[in-house]
Amino acid sequence: MANIIDGKKIAEQVHAETALEVASLARNHNIQPGLAVVLVGEDPASAVYVNMKSKKSLELGIYSDKRVLDKNSTQDQVLAVVHELNNDPRIHGILVQSPPPPQIDETAIVMAIRPEKDVDCFHPVNVGKMLNGETDGFYPCTPHGIMVLLEKSGIDPAGKHAVIIGRSNIVGKPMMALLVQKAKGANATVTVCHSRTPNIAEYTRQADILIAAIGKPEFVTADMVKQGAVVIDVGINRVADKNAPKGHKLVGDVKYAEVAEKASWITPVPGGVGPMTIAMLMHNAVKACKMQNGL
């Protein structure tokens, strides 16, 4: 039976480290990190995420600026808010919640955020720095969180075969970039599978570390997993369950119960990768503050 990688517990460790850094900046430099979160529209799931990020900012002593714009806002109106935040010295990190309404060009919004405030790591400058192995930019929050989960669980990817299911710009591609780096905690051999990969199970059965980020409920079954593999489940899918109080439950991209019988380590859903995403966002906000103040 697999050991459980407790994302909640590890996220709290990261938050504790972040809180110490925030306190040190206040005590030694009279500086407070600032994070702005922009939400366009009232998508319920996005609103929950934005509120969680704002709440955690305040808990850690990070200045929080939450902007909620009407769902019918124009591109120019959203850009005006981004430009205002770019020029606000209290704000060191800017996040525009994805996805925005269809009339908004998300790429143009990302390009408008100053790279040194792009704490989501969507700007090409930060993506390029990540690919080059440079450390003076930001890493995307979810893949970076997975790297920290592995590190704090004593799992070293060096020399291992890591297989990623999914090639999104948010998880799959940056996950590949981080794992393959010539750096401590990386040095893996990486295979990326996706919707056009034939016979995905042929690849997943070779994985020492399997990362599922495909967005399909319980896609990975026990017969797709090598005995003793480390399994990281990035998926969060809502599925109907008449026995659940709300009529639905959350499951990952991995069929947890049966895969846990074969894996050496596994992340649960919820409580695995999810909490790390916010933890690394807060970490990035503090890093942005330090960089912008020459610290």
pLDDT of residue 267: 98
3-state secondary structure of 26: helix
pLDDT of residue 165: 98
Angstrom distance (rounded) from CA 109 to CA 107:
5
pTM to 2 decimal places: 0.95
Helix (H) or strand (E) holding 210: strand 209-212
70-75: long-range contacts, CB 8 A cutoff, minimum separation 24 = 70/40, 70/41, 71/40, 71/41, 71/42, 71/101, 72/101, 72/103, 73/40, 73/41, 73/101, 73/104, 74/103, 75/103, 75/104, 75/105, 75/108
Place of tokens 């989960």: 149
What are the C-alpha distances in Å from 62 to residues 55, 82, 91, 197, 249? 10, 19, 10, 43, 33
What is the maximum alpha-carbon separation in the chain? 57
pLDDT of residue 44: 77
pLDDT of residue 60: 97
Residue ranges, the chain, pLDDT below 50: none
Considering 56, 117, 120, 292, which one is annotated as catalytic? 120
3-state secondary structure of 116: helix
Mind listing the pLDDT tens digit for each residue in 172-198?
999 999 999 999 999 999 999 999 999
Mind listing the pLDDT tens digit for each residue in 113-129?
999 999 999 999 999 99
Is residue 103 part of the annotated active site? The answer reads no
pLDDT of residue 121: 96
Is residue 97 part of the annotated active site? The answer reads yes
Considering 53, 117, 255, 287, which one is annotated as catalytic? 53
Angstrom distance (rounded) from CA 207 to CA 196:
19
Considering 97, 173, 226, 255, which one is annotated as catalytic? 97
